[in-house]
Amino acid sequence: MPINSRRLKHIFSDLSYIGEESDGSITRLALTDEDKSARDRFIQLLCEHDLSVRVDDFGNIYGRLEGKNPSSPPIVIGSHLDTVRHGGLYDGTVGVTAGLEILIALKEEQWKPDIPIEVVSFTNEEGARFPHPMLGSSALVNAAPEKTIREMKDSEGFTFQQELERIGYDGERNARLNRVHMYCEIHIEQGPLLEKSNKPIGIIKGIQGLSWHKVIFKGRSDHAASTPYHDRQDPMRATVHTMEKLYEKAEQQLTTGTFTIGKVEVQPNISNVIAKEVTTFLDIRNQDKKALQKDVDTIRSVIHDCNTSENVEIQDLAFQHPVTFSSRLLEELENICGQSGIETETMFSGAGHDAIYMPRLGETIMMFVPSKDGISHSKEEYSDWKDIYQSAEILYELVKKESSLSKSSTFMKEANK
Ligand SMILES: [Zn+2]
């Protein structure tokens, strides 16, 4: 087998335990000393295996196996090395580890790819320190103004740029990735579907779009004991009534999407005081662009039907269109898995990943490995070693095929034009 299971495990444990806390969880927030240690070790591993290294000016790290046509857009595989606070071993690290092992395996068998192959580790994917997830990958496609990114502050007031320079990862502007032949990321599922369906690999069709809103219910603070009901302007009642109607409507109508109220803030939040204001945070998701907009409209109309314009205000917080990945690569992966007798589940990702921005640079696809009990962002996060190994094997096959001009179906199509 080309993928060396022992080496894969070795690389994984080398990287994933950096930042281990006394309770066994991992805290490796972006651009901290722990993140620097993981980056340093990753680069050391790349150098040990004679792969060339470059770092761009957002701190994204690339390891490269040169191709016969060095100027061709590369095949890029990878993920991220940062974690949330008290996270687990697998989120992100699995993708970087698999990417690195694939490059080492190809190098070992002296594979001479027609186009370059790169492994990438993106900066601040989690958004757990600097409040913008997928920061390194989004910066490559100008999804946010560069100045905004560089001046973004963590909770202690340190900026992204300061910290990037402090750990010595403020690399070269011309090292940025600007086109890819193909991007593929292996990631843990962070949900229960694969485990439930007993399938070892998920092939990802795309990433759901999302719409976040803040709904503020307004009233008047009064004493809980001495204010009769008819004199109250209690926003809690309006909140409870509206939220109940929203969930009812969501269950009836939002068949392909999801609706969640995950956070509620009460002012002044004192048990014997009628609230002055209740703020709820809504998360609406759908894999289809039009359906997402329709869901948002439905939710809005329920809120307006249940309230007057004086007692409620809706603020839009974030919106992200759904992203669809390459159907050609999806088919390629299904074929490779089919030939190896591996059952797959074709699915959408609910969570965001660096891959969300990559379709702007070239053909993109993702693979999921099952998460035990669907758990992630916790020390309980676990994925079976056999599944991780198998996903690396499958990606190895895809990378090998895509890096050979005579085998890749893209190039075949180009040639037949
Ligand atoms: Zn991740």
Topology (CATH) of 209-320: Alpha-Beta Plaits (3.30.70)
Query: Each residue of 326-371: pLDDT tens digit?
Result: 999 999 999 999 999 999 999 999 889 999 999 999 999 999 999 9
% of the chain exceeding 90 in pLDDT:
90
Distances (CA, A) of 145 to 59, 355, 368: 16, 19, 31
Average pLDDT over residues 185-203: 97
Residues belonging to the binding site are 80, 91, 126, 187, 377
pLDDT, greater one: 100 or 414: 100
Average pLDDT over residues 220-246: 94
If you measure from the C-alpha of residue 134 to the centroid of ligand 1, how many angstroms do you get, rounded to a whole number? 9
The whole-angstrom separation of Cα 28 and Cα 85 is 7
Residues belonging to the binding site for Zn(2+) are 80, 91, 126, 187, 377
- Does residue 26 have a pLDDT over 90? yes
Query: Each residue of 76-111: pLDDT tens digit?
Result: 999 999 999 999 999 999 999 999 999 999 999 999
Give the pLDDT confidence score for residue 136 in this predicted structure.
Answer: 97
- Does residue 141 have a pLDDT over 60? yes
Give the pLDDT confidence score for residue 179 in this predicted structure.
Answer: 97
If you measure from the C-alpha of residue 311 to the centroid of ligand 1, how many angstroms do you get, rounded to a whole number? 39
Q: Which CATH architecture has domain 5-208+323-416?
A: 3-Layer(aba) Sandwich (3.40)
- Does residue 319 have a pLDDT over 70? yes
- Does residue 125 have a pLDDT over 60? yes
- Does residue 414 have a pLDDT over 60? no
Would you list the domain boundaries of the chain? Answer: 5-208+323-416, 209-320
If you measure from the C-alpha of residue 226 to the centroid of ligand 1, how many angstroms do you get, rounded to a whole number? 51
Average pLDDT over residues 14-22: 98
Give the pLDDT confidence score for residue 411 in this predicted structure.
Answer: 63
- Does residue 416 have a pLDDT over 90? no
If you measure from the C-alpha of residue 128 to the centroid of ligand 1, how many angstroms do you get, rounded to a whole number? 11
Q: Give the pLDDT band (50/70/90) at residue 408.
A: confident
> Predicted ipTM?
0.97
CATH topology of 5-208+323-416 equal to that of 209-320? no
Q: Give the pLDDT band (50/70/90) at residue 131.
A: confident
If you measure from the C-alpha of residue 407 to the centroid of ligand 1, how many angstroms do you get, rounded to a whole number? 31
